[in-house]
């Protein structure tokens, strides 16, 4: 994919996929999914070096780990539209006998998924392990991960943040989706996490911010910059400032759409704001 | 009846250390992780020979389990090392999601299991770990009985594709199985043939079961002794064949009677050929400080307890 319009079209279709998946089964997490649609689309379409097909070990290609597994609708859409499995399979999201479980899993053998996630706080540790395996294998490719900001309230993250810097895991780019929302409200109301940039830096990470985390150009620039900072003895973190529910006006900026599905009327409104670009499943 | 000889007391954790060292030399995919207990887990020789394949994670067991899961992505075979309590209960959710549910080829190696950690007391002992691990779908659960068997098991699990819980202990116990034994995951070892009662034991209690069988023979009771080193998958055929012959069973383990080997045997019998069973195990209790011998005596985990249970169960036939 080369031009911005093509990327915009990709993202619009991903947003459309997200609301349709969640609406169909009246369950799932549209808010955070929409907020990360641009990021994951850019990552898979423009940034990651990927091999054809899928194998679990992912040697000689970049890897991605989704730690905040509840935003599975965006992950599934981007994976399907990046060729990992048939787009029609999005129809089975959260249904019985599906490979598209509510939260991603390797258990059902869905190509593109390398670890189960959903119980929060585990993805950074797994990413560190995968990055270490790459080093042992002499594989120069990178490991990318995505984490919710609320997810950083889980203590295991701080074990992992401490470890990655101390052990110079510098082939890792961890991105925090900084949307300041979690199920019960604003992160600052539930449990304020303070200045995450300073905290990561204090632990020894190289940190950069993407101020407009829903802007394709800014994301591209930020990821390119992050990539240039790998291999220098420090793990790299990106604070990605996103808006929960981005691209659907009535969902934007509110924690209320963290885990609630749109009704029929709301779906129509959301779809009207995100017209079909690459073909519905 | 065959008599077994103790070739010299050794700790099972050293069997793990020796097995890991051998793996370091023979299997380049094996890597090891430890949460600040290298000495306790006897991992130093592996580290000295393979520093690049060792990950010291510090006192952070959850992170260790996640890193281990990640290392499998790239073809590594990670062996994690810490106390059994911190290998299971402390990190149950990490093992459940990132390892078992994700089908990752991680070997969770747990020392100081059971009561015999001794003086450190209940916070560092664990009597629930077999139950926790066997309830996880896809998890293999192994509890070898002596130094030689632990070494053989350590080497064998590297060949098995899938998550494994390997449980061993701190104190020096009788070393009586052959040095060159063939270790087959899921295959019971028939140590002694008998006709009156089947004694099914695991871990440190296997040697006690052999001592019990000798004492029972003096009383005219013929005991069959089976070493169940693999609790999951359980060798049901071996158990059923023996109990068909003897008509009753005593299970012996250094674990809570809820969730342990005894319960797995009871389920097997109930579904196939119900028979009287007595449990030599801890009775839903935490441990306490004391020497290993004192604790085995107080909580009824020795040959004397197995003899008593055998006599009781025979009367229930």
Phi, psi of B56 (to 5 degrees): -90, 110
* Bridge partners for B250 per DSSP: B199, B278
What does pLDDT average to in each consecutive run of 10 residues of chain A (281 residues)?
86 98 97 97 98 97 98 98 98 98 97 98 98 98 98 98 98 97 94 97 98 98 98 98 96 87 97 98 95
Identify the CA nearest to B310 among candidates B264, B278, B263: B278
Please give the full DSSP string across A56-125, using - where no structure is assigned: TT-TTS-EEEESSGGGHHHHHHHHHHTTSS-GGGGGGTT-TT-SS-SS--TTTT-TT--S---STT-HHH
pLDDT of B118 over the 90 cut: no
Does this model's pTM top 0.90? My answer is yes
Distance from CA of A240 to the nearest CA of B (A): 24
3-class DSSP state of A176: strand
The reply to whether residue A125 touches residue B52, judged by beta carbons under 8 angstroms, is no
Average pLDDT over residues B155-172: 98
Task: Tell me what pLDDT residue A254 has.
Answer: 80
Task: Tell me what pLDDT residue A223 has.
Answer: 98
Please give the Cα distance from B50 to B194 (Å, whole number).
47
Identify the CA nearest to A187 among candidates A252, A119, A136, A244: A244
Name the strands in the sheet holding B277-282, side by side, starting at the edge strand that comes first in the sequence. Answer: B189-192, B223-227, B197-201, B249-256, B277-282
Identify the CA nearest to A199 among candidates A127, A241, A149: A149
Residues 6+ apart with CB under 8 A from B212: B199, B223, B303, B304, B306, B307, B310
The reply to whether residue B63 touches residue A159, judged by beta carbons under 8 angstroms, is yes
Please give the Cα distance from A206 to A226 (Å, whole number).
9
Q: Is beta strand B230-232 parallel, antiparallel or unpaired with respect to B189-192?
A: unpaired
Residues 209-228 of A with CB under 8 A from B: none
- Rg for chain B, CA atoms, rounded: 19
Distance from CA of B215 to the nearest CA of A (A): 50
- Whether B119 is a known active-site residue: answer no
- pLDDT tens sequence across B80-117: 999 999 999 999 999 999 999 999 999 999 999 999 88
Taking the Cβ of residue A119 and every Cβ of chain B, the question of whether any pair is shorter than 8 Å is answered with yes
Taking the Cβ of residue B228 and every Cβ of chain A, the question of whether any pair is shorter than 8 Å is answered with no
Residues from chain B contacting residue A132 (CB–CB below 8 Å):
55, 67, 70-71
Which of A59, A125, A172 to substitute to test the interface with B, most B CBs within 10 Å? A125
Please give the Cα distance from A157 to A231 (Å, whole number).
22
Residues 87-126 of B with CB under 8 A from A: 93-94, 96-98, 101-104
> How many Å separate Cα A206 from the centre of its chain?
20
Picking from B70, B72, B104, the nearest residue to A125 by CB comes out as B70
| B223, B213 contact by CB (below 8 A) | yes
Whether the ω angle into residue B78 lies within 30 degrees of 0, i.e. cis, is: no
3-class DSSP state of B73: coil
CA dihedral A179, A184, A185, A186 (to 10 degrees): -50
Task: Tell me what pLDDT residue B117 has.
Answer: 85
ipTM of the complex: 0.96
| B199, B303 contact by CB (below 8 A) | no
Identify the CA nearest to B134 among candidates B182, B60, B202: B202
Residues 5-34 of B with CB under 8 A from A: 31
Token pair 């900001």: residue:
A149
Cα separations in angstroms, B72 against A40, B102, B130, B154, B162: 24, 11, 24, 17, 10
pLDDT of B138 over the 90 cut: yes
Which of B54, B67, B92, B163 to substitute to test the interface with A, most A CBs within 10 Å? B67
Taking the Cβ of residue A124 and every Cβ of chain B, the question of whether any pair is shorter than 8 Å is answered with yes
Measured from the Cβ of residue B195, the count of other Cβ atoms closer than 10 Å reads: 12
Distance from CA of B60 to the nearest CA of A (A): 6
The reply to whether residue A59 touches residue B75, judged by beta carbons under 8 angstroms, is yes
The reply to whether residue A163 touches residue B67, judged by beta carbons under 8 angstroms, is yes
Token pair 């017209």: residue:
A275
Taking the Cβ of residue A106 and every Cβ of chain B, the question of whether any pair is shorter than 8 Å is answered with yes
- Which one of the listed residues B22, B52, B61, B293 is annotated catalytic? B61
Taking the Cβ of residue A108 and every Cβ of chain B, the question of whether any pair is shorter than 8 Å is answered with no
Nearest chain B residue to A110 by CA: give it. B102
| B10, B17 contact by CB (below 8 A) | no
Task: Tell me what pLDDT residue A253 has.
Answer: 77
Indicate the length of chain A as a whole number. Answer: 281
* Bridge partners for A239 per DSSP: A176, A209
Please give the Cα distance from A133 to A163 (Å, whole number).
15
- Rg for chain A, CA atoms, rounded: 17
């Amino acid at each position: 994919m080369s031009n911005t319009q093509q990327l915009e079209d990709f993202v619009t279709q991903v947003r459309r996929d997200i609301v349709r998946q969640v609406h169909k089964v009246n369950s799932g997490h549209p808010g955070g999914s929409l907020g990360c649609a641009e990021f994951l689309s850019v990552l898979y379409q423009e940034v990651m070096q990927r091999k054809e097909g899928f194998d679990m070990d992912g040697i000689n290609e970049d890897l991605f780990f989704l730690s905040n597994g509840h935003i599975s609708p965006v992950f599934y859409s981007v994976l399907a539209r990046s060729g990992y499995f048939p787009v029609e399979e999005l129809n089975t999201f959260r249904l019985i006998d599906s490979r598209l479980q509510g939260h991603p899993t390797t258990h059902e053998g869905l190509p593109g998924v390398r670890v189960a996630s959903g119980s929060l706080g585990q993805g950074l540790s797994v990413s560190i392990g995968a990055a270490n395996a790459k080093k042992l294998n002499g594989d120069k490719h990178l490991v990318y991960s995505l984490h919710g900001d609320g997810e950083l309230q889980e203590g295991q993250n701080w074990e992992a943040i401490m470890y990655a810097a101390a052990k110079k895991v510098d082939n890792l780019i961890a991105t925090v989706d900084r949307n300041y929302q979690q199920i019960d409200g604003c992160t600052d109301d539930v449990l304020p996490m303070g200045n995450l940039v300073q905290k990561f830096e204090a632990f020894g990470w190289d940190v950069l911010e993407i101020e407009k985390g829903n802007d394709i150009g800014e994301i591209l620039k930020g990821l390119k910059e992050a990539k240039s900072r790998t291999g220098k003895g420090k793990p790299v973190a990106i604070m990605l400032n996103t808006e929960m529910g981005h691209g659907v006006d009535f969902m934007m900026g509110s924690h209320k759409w963290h885990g609630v599905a749109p009704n029929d009327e709301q779906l129509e409104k959301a779809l009207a704001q995100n017209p079909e670009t690459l073909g519905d499943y | 009846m065959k008599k077994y000889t103790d070739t010299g007391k050794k700790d099972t954790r050293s069997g793990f250390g020796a097995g890991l060292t051998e793996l370091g030399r023979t299997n380049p995919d094996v890597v090891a992780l430890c949460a600040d207990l290298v000495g306790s887990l006897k991992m130093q020789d592996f580290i000295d020979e393979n520093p690049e394949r060792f990950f010291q994670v510090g006192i952070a067991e959850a992170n260790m389990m996640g890193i281990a899961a990640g290392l499998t992505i790239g073809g590594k075979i990670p062996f994690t090392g810490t106390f059994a309590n911190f290998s299971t209960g402390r990190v149950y959710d990490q093992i459940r999601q990132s390892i078992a549910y994700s089908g990752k080829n991680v070997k969770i190696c747990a020392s100081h299991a059971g009561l015999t950690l001794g003086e450190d007391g209940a916070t560092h002992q664990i009597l629930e770990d077999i139950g926790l691990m066997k309830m996880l779908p896809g998890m293999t659960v192994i509890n070898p009985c002596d130094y030689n068997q632990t070494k053989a098991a350590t080497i064998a699990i590297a060949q098995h594709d899938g998550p494994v819980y390997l449980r061993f202990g701190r104190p020096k116990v009788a070393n009586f199985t052959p040095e060159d034994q063939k270790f087959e995951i899921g295959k019971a070892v028939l140590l002694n043939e008998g006709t009156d009662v089947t004694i099914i034991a695991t871990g440190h209690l296997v040697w006690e079961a052999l001592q019990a069988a000798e004492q029972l023979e003096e009383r005219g009771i013929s005991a069959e002794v089976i070493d169940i080193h693999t609790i999951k998958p359980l060798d049901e055929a071996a158990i059923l064949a023996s109990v068909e012959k003897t008509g009753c069973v005593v299970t012996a383990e250094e674990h809570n009677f809820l969730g342990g080997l005894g319960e797995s045997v009871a389920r097997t019998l109930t579904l196939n050929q119900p028979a009287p069973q007595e449990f030599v195990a801890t009775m839903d209790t935490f441990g306490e400080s004391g020497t290993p011998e004192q604790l085995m005596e107080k909580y009824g985990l020795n040959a004397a307890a197995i003899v008593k249970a055998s006599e009781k169960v025979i009367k229930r036939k």
